[in-house]
Amino acid sequence: MKQTIGLLLLSLAPALGQSLPEILDGLVKAELGSLEALYKHLHANPELSHHEQATAARIASELRAAGYAVTTGIGGYGVVAVMKNGPGPTVLMRTDLDALPVTEKTGAPYASKVRAKDDAGNEVGVMHACAHDMHMTSFVGAARLLAKLKDRWSGTLLMIGQPAEERGTGALDMMNDGLFTRFPRPDYCLALHVDAALEAGRIGYREGYAMANVDSVDVTIRGVGGHGAYPHTTRDPIVLAAQVILALQTVVSREVRPTEAAVITVGSIHAGNKHNIIADQAELQLTVRSYTDETRKILLDGIERVTLGIARAAGVPNDREPVVRIRRNEYTPATYNDPELVKRIVPVWQQVLGGNNVVLREPEMGGEDFSQFGRQEPRIPIFLFRLGTVGPRKAAPLPGLHSPEYLPAIHPTIETGAKATAAAVLELLKK
């Protein structure tokens, strides 16, 4: 009975003269115990990319319970929930579902103890080390709030759970499975991502480029192997690899405009298996980061040209020239936050959360495949914002995203994520 009366009073809040921040605060408090339990469940039961079956089922169940029409199995384990509420725009809000192959070391009572086989057949620990569990919890909280505030908005709301964000493929998988044709095409797309350097209770934002193009490149440098005592009879691929690694940095420093951001990192090098044997090839794995399409092309073209040029200069036979393979299916485009959309939403957050809790953030060189939603023609304005997760600061440095020791502060992170998401949608769908 008390709960029924409470919900009735909340529904009458506008008539009682409550402000939007007061309304959202009241609704979030009513959901907080349930949301904390959901977060701990998701944290303790993570699933790897392309294997999010139970996670997707739980999110689908939560959205159905909130009154949404739910479809599952979109682009793998993707979830699409629709709530139509009269005429108006369509807003898409995305959460990601997957976890990482990381063995948790937080020591939390709800820590993940899950172990699973990865796609290569290796047994790995599994953890929400990028806090997609917090994304999902904030997302469900916002979905509940918006369902209870239908008198304050008009239009169509798409709440989607996306698989395989960590692999950079889930967004395209969902679109290729008809996300924008089988369901209402959005006029705006929103998503949040945790920030391991921002205090809990705060939201971060950035206009324009917020995250980078991400390319993975495999380089095979082929030489002529032989005895380590007779290098003159060989073409040493390890020496060539060393020259290539250094020369690639000149692509960044001497070919890219100094005001443009660019990164070429060689993350892996493998060659040889014995002290006195010169190998016949070396394998490099590169990650390449940029913002603009023009800079991306300079970097990728430069990698091929430099690698081939060094091999030829060293006299490597034509039939042993290096192979540069760009993993096109793993490409993640840069996230470009629509400036007008950002300008529209930030003042609402300042009202709901307080001006000091809405913080301008620097662009990053990490990647996010949410960017794909803004690359389809005609272009849709998108906005990826940051959710602070840092609790009271300690003397030791705090672990970052993808660390086995990264653990978001539960409160007020959940409350802030749910309120910020709901407030943004209410602004875009306001009557």
The pairing of strands 226-227 and 277-278 is: antiparallel
CA distances from 383 to 80, 317, 331, 346 (A): 19, 50, 20, 11
CA distances from 324 to 38, 111, 285, 303, 406 (A): 45, 41, 10, 8, 35
3-state secondary structure of 19: coil
Q: Which of 52, 62, 98, 199 is catalytic?
A: 98
3-state helix, strand, coil in the chain (%, to 5): 40, 25, 35
The answer to whether the Cα torsion of 236, 239, 242, 244 is positive or negative is: negative
Does the annotation count 119 as an active-site position? no
- Bridge partners, 57 (sequence order): none
Strands (E), 166-248: 188-199, 203-205, 208-211, 213-222, 226-227
CA contacts within 13 A on the Cβ side of 266: 18
Does the annotation count 165 as an active-site position? yes
CA 383, CA 233: separation in Å to the nearest integer?
Answer: 58
For 1, which DSSP code? -
Q: Which of 165, 199, 338, 364 is catalytic?
A: 165
For 184, which DSSP code? P
CA 221, CA 225: separation in Å to the nearest integer?
Answer: 12
3-state secondary structure of 72: strand
* Exposed e or buried b per residue across 219-248, where buried means at least 16 C-beta atoms within 10 angstroms of its C-beta: bebbbbbbeeeeeeebbbbbbbbebbbebb
Q: What is the C-alpha radius of gyration for the chain, rounded to an integer number of angstroms?
A: 25
CA-closest candidate to residue 374, choices 330, 342, 337? 337
Sequence-separated (6 or more) residues with CB below 8 Å from residue 86: 154, 155
Residues annotated catalytic, as ranges: 98, 165
